[in-house]
Amino acid sequence: MKLLEPGSTLDGFTIGECIHSGGMAHIYHVRYAQGRPDPGFAMAMKVPRMASGDGAENIVGFEVECQILQVLTGAHVPRFVAAGDLERVPYLVMEYIAGRTLQHWLDAPQPLGADLVVRLGVAMAHAAHALHLQNTVHMDLKPQNVLLRPLHAAVDLSPELQPLDAFGSAVLLDFGLSHHAHYPDLLAEQLRKAVGSPAWIAPEQVVGVRGDPRSDIFAIGVMLYQLCTGELPFGEPQTPAGLRQRLWVDPVPPRRRRADLPAWLQEVVLRCLEPEAAKRYPSAAHLAFDLTHPTQVLVTQRGTNTAPTPFRVHFKRWIKAAGMHYQPSPVPSQQISEVPIVMVAVPYRDASDATLFSLRQAVARALGSRAGARLACVTVIPASLSSTTHEDRSETQLHRRYLAQLHQWAQPLDHPGQQTSCHVLESGDVAHALLDYAVGNQVSVIVMGAATHGLKTQRFIATVPIKVAMDAPCTVILVKQTLPFAQLAAAASDDARLDSAAAPDPQLPGAALYGDDLGPLG
């Protein structure tokens, strides 16, 4: 199809300048014609190439993108506006988002710092996770398809003029090769070869398995490797034999190419690049969690090794790969639900043994025996605790003290195949701190103690559990103590007979789980 002329109209859209001309499509700025008000955001029109020499994947990919983009929502994808008739003039009109693709960072003249690489990786992981929750796998993540929004929205500030570390959330582009669990896979039906970009395609895609969200995690791993080293981990193979090598060949360890990279970051990158999908991160949320909490990453030989993998190891893997049969993964949202990130809010004071035991039981039920699930133990301390000048109450000493308590509490929950991490937060607003942590870390389930205030009191005072339950982006489990109140009353009566003058013990199971003014954990 020839280029559209600027100023011409098509189905009520006025064509602007061509902003991209690629192998699959042309993209134009457009606006509504005949004085129709714009939708409140800039628009772009994508017109697929359909010349005689173009492959069938161009038109099939256009059909796939039209089908999928209409059902996707959220800040990590462009908004859909309209689609043209395939029989007449095929086109797709969507939101135009200003920003820079990841390629801009790869083209930087100097190597990127580890902190900047991590921030870019977290942005990509959050965008991929949002997509997977909608049962869609992108299947073609690469630097040109990852757009970073500008940090500043000022109209007169061009994204190209902003510094490298000035960017916002990631937006994923080009869904022509994507897979949606609830729609027919047109590419799998009409094209019998591996589809994807050779440098970033996952091993299971090479052998024709589509729809596994961990394929996107592999592609993110390739881009993280590029950002760290400036090199592609598997080169740019152009033959089927070259593509298949990633089923058994390890890339050169990033720290061999760049010695200043931390071992934990190499651990994360190489885990993303595991040939077997089951050995990668079970979800993009787990990847973002490790990138956000480097001190919680368990560094193995994979992270410390700088020597290339011996030939005999690759030979054994080659033999294994020859007989390996990749299985299609379950529905993406189902797979994510099977490997939850569970957050438990553990009080830092005034918690009885019964309370702590009840929380542990509830967490064990939430985790089950599912391999890949993660437990994040969180306690919130008020900022006033670390403001004292006493040496033994310094901020460092306090954090170590409460971290040690969390580790001790969580020790019985250790289970093979599950990861546990502990975090001490400092805030004067406990509910806000817990909600921020849950949102920032893509938490699936929050487990916390239920307030012991009476119902009449809770009608007038919004307790921290109520605040969290109302505003949480995920499931919230409020835990009551396991000992029946009748037993507590009997125990209290016996104690009263033994010592009628004894004051009530605030550590009894009936004591308040959370503080009065500070709320839960405070």
Q: Is 259 part of a structural domain of the chain?
A: yes
CB atoms within 10 A of CB 1: 14
Backbone angles phi, psi at 435, to 5 degrees: -65, -40
Sequence-ordered list of residues with C-beta below 8 angstroms from that of 249, at least 6 positions apart, any chain: 234, 309, 314, 317
What gap in Å lies between CA 64 and CA 45, rounded to an integer?
16
Give, as one character, the DSSP assignment of residue 382: -
For range 450-454, the mean pLDDT: 59
Under DSSP, the state recorded for 339 is S
CATH code at position 59: 3.30.200.20
Q: Which two tokens stand for residue 25?
A: 């499509």
Q: Whole-angstrom Cα distance, residue 202 to residue 219? A: 7
Which pLDDT score is estimated for 518?
A: 36
* Whole-angstrom distance, CA of residue 237 vs CA of residue 384: 58
| Tokens coding 96 | 């135009």
Q: Which two tokens stand for residue 514?
A: 């959370």
DSSP string, 289-300: HHHH-GGG----
Do 183 and 285 fall within a single domain?
Answer: yes
Q: Classify residue 255: in a domain, yes or no.
A: yes
Instruction: Indicate which CATH number applies to the domain containing 439.
Output: 3.40.50.620
Check whether 460 has a pLDDT greater than 70: no
Q: Mean pLDDT over all residues of the chain?
A: 83
* Contacts by 303-308, CB closer than 8 A, 24 or more apart: 303/263, 303/264, 303/265, 303/266, 303/267, 303/268, 303/270, 304/263, 304/266, 305/253, 306/253, 306/255, 306/256, 306/259, 307/253, 307/256, 308/250, 308/252, 308/253, 308/256
Q: Is 151 part of any domain? A: no
**Inter-CA distances, 467 with 289, 429, 431, Å:** 24, 11, 6
**Which of 503, 346, 318 shows the shortest CA–CA distance to 411?**
346
| 51 domain-assigned | yes
Question: Does one domain contain both 185 and 306?
Answer: yes
C-alpha to C-alpha distance for 357 and 509, rounded to whole angstroms? 10
Same domain, 255 and 346: no
**509 belongs to a structural domain:** no
**Are 328 and 390 within one domain?**
no
The beta-carbon contacts of 387-393 under 8 Å, at least 24 apart in sequence, are: none
Q: Which of 291, 313, 334 is the last residue of a domain?
A: 334
Whole-structure pTM value: 0.86
Which residues, in sequence order, are bridge partners of residue 171?
A: 147
Q: pLDDT digit string (tens) for 111-125?
A: 899 999 999 999 999
The three-class DSSP label of residue 311 is: helix
Q: Which residues contact 522 (CB under 8 A, 6 or more apart)?
A: 348, 380, 381, 382, 428, 430, 514, 515
Q: Which one of 313, 334, 355 terminates a domain?
A: 334
Which CATH number is 237's domain given? 1.10.510.10
Do 325 and 468 belong to one domain?
no
199 and 320 together in one domain? yes
164 and 275 both lie in a single domain: yes
DSSP per-residue string spanning 57-77 = HHHHHHHHHHHHHTT--STTS
pLDDT for residue 522 = 38
Distance CA 344, CA 114 (A): 30
Domain boundary among 334, 353, 381: 334
Kindly state whether residue 508 falls inside one of the protein's structural domains: no
Asked if residue 1 is part of any domain, the answer here is no
Give CA–CA dist 191/444, Å, rounded: 37
Which one-letter DSSP state was computed for residue 451?
Answer: P
**Cβ(383)–Cβ(426) under 8 Å?**
yes
Whether residues 27 and 122 share a domain: the answer is no
SS3 readout for 183-214: CCCHHHHHCCCCCCCCCCCCHHHHCCCCCCHH
Local confidence band at 464 (pLDDT 50, 70, 90 cut-offs): confident
Q: Considering its fold, how many domains does the chain have in total?
A: 3
Q: From 205, 339, 221, select the one nearest 271 (Cα to Cα).
A: 221
122 and 261 housed in the same domain: yes
pLDDT in tens, 136-189: 999 999 999 999 998 876 544 566 667 888 899 999 999 989 999 988 887 765
Same-domain status, 472 and 401: yes
- The lowest-confidence range among 71-75, 100-104, 275-279 is 275-279
Tokens (6 digits) for 80: 């859909």
Q: Does the CA dihedral 389-392-394-398 come out positive or negative?
A: negative
The model's pLDDT over 390-430, given as tens digits with 9 standing for 90+, comes to: 544 566 788 888 899 999 999 998 888 889 999 999 988 99
| Residues of the domain holding 364 | 340-498
Q: How far apart are CA 291 and CA 287, in angstroms?
A: 6
Decide if 101 is inside a domain.
Answer: no
- Examine the domain organization and report whether 368 and 491 are in the same domain: yes
pLDDT > 50? residue 509: no
The distance between the two most distant Cα atoms of the chain, rounded to a whole number of Å, is: 96
pLDDT at 513 over 80: no
Lowest average pLDDT, out of 45-49, 469-473, 504-508, goes to: 504-508
Mean pLDDT (whole number) for 208-232? 95
Question: Are 348 and 453 in a shared domain?
Answer: yes
- Does residue 514 register a pLDDT over 50? no
